[in-house]
Amino acid sequence: MPQLSRKQLLSLYSKLRSHFGFLNWWPAKSNDEMAIGAILTQNTSWKNVEKAIARLEANRMLSLKAIAEAKLSKVERAIRSSGFFRQKAKRLKSFSTYIVSNYGGIDSFFKRSKEPRKELLSIGGIGKETADSMLLYAGNRPIFVIDAYTRRVLSRVFGIDAERMGYEEVQRIFDVLPASIDLYKDFHAQFVELAKNYCRKKPLCSKCPVRSMCKYASKAAST
């Protein structure tokens, strides 16, 4: 497994924080909305998720209890903008029904579940990234979320093959950091902003705020 030092990771975070500022991510008014958004954002852009959340709110369905009680067809119509909406509607219904039936709500789930990550992963349609997003942002557990943006930035900046590594293998890279919930939340958000604005599939290296420490940018500049 590639080893990155605490100094390397915090240096990257410092440059990102200096450029983007504190990002206060995840953008949600409640833990219900956060959990719903984590499912909706699978394989789509956040802009599409925002549209779906607005529709759910307009239809008074922006809660796990409301989704659990709603007809599947109504959920499908509300989240149509999120892509794969039929599949996601089933996942939302399954997740909401499980949480409400067994715990009454998401906050109670995080208080009472003895193994919340294992339990989340046992629910259909909830993968590691989605579960860890809920754990970090709704459950306030110090667990680093690994997504495609994080893999891309790590691969380019440090020259490691993070895009082909296993999920937990990438996650363990961050074990050298202090187990700080606030740090994990903001660092993950910084990865997202960098990848969306500069470290795109076709990167904008000349304008990137971390180009001075990026191996990909250095190699590109020399060719």
Task: Identify whether the C-beta of residue 39 lies closer than 8 Å to the C-beta of residue 125.
Answer: yes
| pLDDT, mean over the chain | 96
Q: What are 140's two structure tokens?
A: 């306030």
Which CATH number, 1.10.340.30, 3.30.470.20, 1.10.3720.10, 3.40.50.2000, labels domain 31-137? 1.10.340.30
Neighbours of 132 (CB within 10 A): 25
pLDDT in tens, 111-162: 999 999 999 999 999 999 999 999 999 999 999 999 999 999 999 999 999 9
Return the domain boundaries, the chain. Answer: 6-23+145-218, 31-137
Q: Is the pLDDT of residue 39 over 70?
A: yes
pTM for the complete prediction? Answer: 0.94
H-helix or E-strand spanning residue 128? helix 128-137
Question: For domain 6-23+145-218, which architecture applies?
Answer: Orthogonal Bundle (1.10)
pLDDT in tens, 161-220: 999 999 999 999 999 999 999 999 999 999 999 999 999 999 999 999 999 999 999 988
In angstroms, the CA 12 to CA 191 distance is 10
